[in-house]
Amino acid sequence: MQPLCRLILGDQLNPDHSWFAEQRSDVIYLMMEVRQETDYVLHHAQKIIAIFAAMRDFAQRLHDAGHRVRYIHIDDADNHPSLTDNLDHLLAHYKASGFEYQAPDEYRLDAQLAHYIQSLDIPARMIDTEHFYTARDEAFVLFEGRQHWLMENFYRQLRIKHDVLMSGPRKPVGAKWNFDHDNRKSWPGTPREPEDVRPLHDHSALWQTICDAGIKSFGRPSASAIAWPLNRAEALEQLNDFVEEALPHFGDFQDAMHSKAPRLFHSLLSFALNTKMLNPREVVRAAEQAYQRGHAPLPAVEGFIRQILGWREYVRGVYWAHMPGYDKLNVFQHDTPLPHWFWDGKTKMRCLGQAIGQSLDDAHAHHIQRLMVIGNFALLAGLAPKEVHAWYLGVYIDAFEWVELPNTLGMSQFVDHGMLATKPYVSSAAYIHRMSDYCKGCHYDRRKREGDDACPLNALYWDFFDRHAALLNSNQRLGMVYMQLAKMDETAKTAIRQQAERTRKQLENL
């Protein structure tokens, strides 16, 4: 019998996909650990470990359910570095009658496989992953011809279309679409951060295999105690724990940061979502039901749902509408290399030491740490967007290019001059002090703009808007910034420019 071969990628670990609805002796599922995927960017050690471990668990569960599976391990003698070279070998070995694969979520893989099947002399096709609310081109159809792609418009349409948090036709629950202004509190230490009850996994043997294969990585492996879920059952437990313990307080403190509470009330579900162990519909439904039964307040539930139904689907639409090419944008022409402390966390700036250190330790940081600490500094200091993108893509366990690229380059680094974000999301030390305890005990003084002990963010902030006035001063959301700059005398502006220039020249020593 000549079987049909079906490829499963490492971020397609959905046991509820229609592929698996029945056992078929004429179908072989192909899964593989390949150097192409470990090496296209330098990845965090935990990211490589967790994806390989989850893939192996998924393959075993398929096998136990009666499906035919061919799994190629990273150290198998017949493993080729390239995905398509492995496919050539496997399709020939099994004398495949046809080939199918689920739609990749990254442009490079989509292009690679689309090109590959053109060379095959057997029937081949791509099918849907059955995961997202929206089609790849749905955002493009909505926003075609518009200069700015406002997520809020997209989000409201999806709320209506899928009847999420609605009290009637085009009527949102609570008579408001967005409760963002209610969700901006700093965390005073109470209520307590929920206990992390995720099961720990010992992946020491897998980590040794990865090292022996010569795969390069960075960050802390923690191979003997990794809490990221291996499968759908563990992901569902994590979802339930978040809804019961953290969601009620998520809204109030979703933007807060604290050195003693790295998780606070965030779900940490993004890895399970982005590898498709969880479906976004069930995550949204669980949050909505928590509101309906009076367990969580509306601002918390709406804020969380907006991240899943709104932002996650929106950035995917942005990605597919603007690739290839979006990754090459650089409106400010920033080109400064990343300083060494992006790789070791050793900087005297406590906010960056905390956010980067947490990222290196846990392969995770929440959205405000990524946007308003690390990304904020990167933009103000003029770091090269291409390098910033590669670091974000590698360091975070939930980072796949479709979601990471628009977030990093569009939202954080403003490379598209406002197509995605309505203004550059930058701040001086004031915002970080207001939303965290990071400034406490810092080597630098958050109140100072000039001098050796002045917080570098303060001069960099004003210098950024001064240097890029030609690009930004017509932005209505920045009117107050340029009014304040206009009130400064030339002596003050010169001092800011000089302080910022000194800072940029000594980034390695901050």
Instruction: Please check whether residues 476 and 457 belong to one and the same domain.
Output: yes
In the prediction, which pLDDT does 6 show? 98
Instruction: Please check whether residues 145 and 282 belong to one and the same domain.
Output: yes
For residue 462, which of 436, 493, 435, 439 has the smallest C-alpha distance?
493
In the prediction, which pLDDT does 203 show? 96
Beta carbons within 8 Å of 80's beta carbon, 6+ residues apart = 34, 86, 89
Instruction: Please check whether residues 410 and 455 belong to one and the same domain.
Output: yes
Instruction: Please check whether residues 116 and 78 belong to one and the same domain.
Output: yes
Structural domain ending residue among the three candidates 127, 161, 187:
127
Task: At 497, list the tokens.
Answer: 């420019």
In the prediction, which pLDDT does 27 show? 97
Specify the CATH number for the domain of residue 368.
1.10.579.10
For residue 437, count CB atoms less than 10 angstroms from its CB and return exposed for 0-12, middle for 13-18, buried for 19 or more: buried
Structural domain ending residue among the three candidates 291, 322, 353:
322
Q: How far apart are CA 455 and CA 334, in angstroms?
A: 21
Spans of the chain below 70 pLDDT: none
In the prediction, which pLDDT does 145 show? 77
Q: How far apart are CA 284 and CA 307, in angstroms?
A: 10
Asked if the structure places residue 404 within a domain, the reply is: yes
Asked if the structure places residue 224 within a domain, the reply is: no
- E-assigned strand segments in 145-229: 166-168, 171-172, 217-218
In the prediction, which pLDDT does 149 show? 77
Instruction: Please check whether residues 91 and 110 belong to one and the same domain.
Output: yes
Per-residue pLDDT of 116-126, as tens digits, reads: 999 999 999 99
In the prediction, which pLDDT does 139 show? 85
In the prediction, which pLDDT does 410 show? 95
For residue 28, which of 70, 90, 87 has the smallest C-alpha distance?
70
99 and 91 Cβ atoms separated by less than 8 Å: yes
Instruction: Please check whether residues 264 and 285 belong to one and the same domain.
Output: yes
Asked if the structure places residue 331 within a domain, the reply is: no
Asked if the structure places residue 460 within a domain, the reply is: yes
For residue 288, count CB atoms less than 10 angstroms from its CB and return exposed for 0-12, middle for 13-18, buried for 19 or more: buried
Instruction: Please check whether residues 234 and 287 belong to one and the same domain.
Output: yes
201 and 26 Cβ atoms separated by less than 8 Å: no
Per-residue pLDDT of 44-65, as tens digits, reads: 999 999 999 999 999 999 999 9
The domain total for the chain is 3
Instruction: Please check whether residues 186 and 303 belong to one and the same domain.
Output: yes
For 379, the domain range is 341-509
Structural domain ending residue among the three candidates 106, 127, 148:
127
CA 89 to chain CA centroid, nearest Å: 34
Specify the CATH number for the domain of residue 244.
1.25.40.80
Asked if the structure places residue 330 within a domain, the reply is: no
510 and 341 Cβ atoms separated by less than 8 Å: yes
39 and 213 Cβ atoms separated by less than 8 Å: no
For residue 441, which of 504, 348, 371 has the smallest C-alpha distance?
348
Q: How far apart are CA 55 and CA 31, in angstroms?
A: 8
Specify the CATH number for the domain of residue 83.
3.40.50.620
Asked if the structure places residue 120 within a domain, the reply is: yes
Asked if the structure places residue 334 within a domain, the reply is: no
Task: At 387, list the tokens.
Answer: 């390098």
Distances (CA, A) of 180 to 245, 250, 420: 21, 12, 18
Q: How far apart are CA 408 and CA 175, in angstroms?
A: 32
Distances (CA, A) of 244 to 62, 227, 262, 274, 366: 31, 19, 19, 22, 20
Instruction: Please check whether residues 262 and 177 belong to one and the same domain.
Output: yes
Helix, strand, coil percentages for the chain (3-state, nearest 5) = 50, 10, 40
Q: How far apart are CA 7 and CA 182, in angstroms?
A: 45
Q: What is the 3-state secondary structure (H, E, C) of 75-121?
A: CCCCCCCCHHHHHHHHHHHCCCCEEEEECCCCHHHHHHHHHHHHCCC
In the prediction, which pLDDT does 146 show? 78
Q: What is the 3-state secondary structure (H, E, C) of 277-336?
A: CCCHHHHHHHHHHHHHCCCCCHHHHHHHHHHHHHHHHHHHHHHHHHCCCHHHCCCCCCCE
Instruction: Please check whether residues 162 and 298 belong to one and the same domain.
Output: yes
- Residue-wise over 155-166: b if at least 16 C-beta within 10 A, else e? bbebbeeeebbe
Asked if the structure places residue 289 within a domain, the reply is: yes
Instruction: Please check whether residues 39 and 170 belong to one and the same domain.
Output: no
Task: At 67, list the tokens.
Answer: 């499906």
In the prediction, which pLDDT does 50 show? 97
Instruction: Please check whether residues 79 and 186 belong to one and the same domain.
Output: no
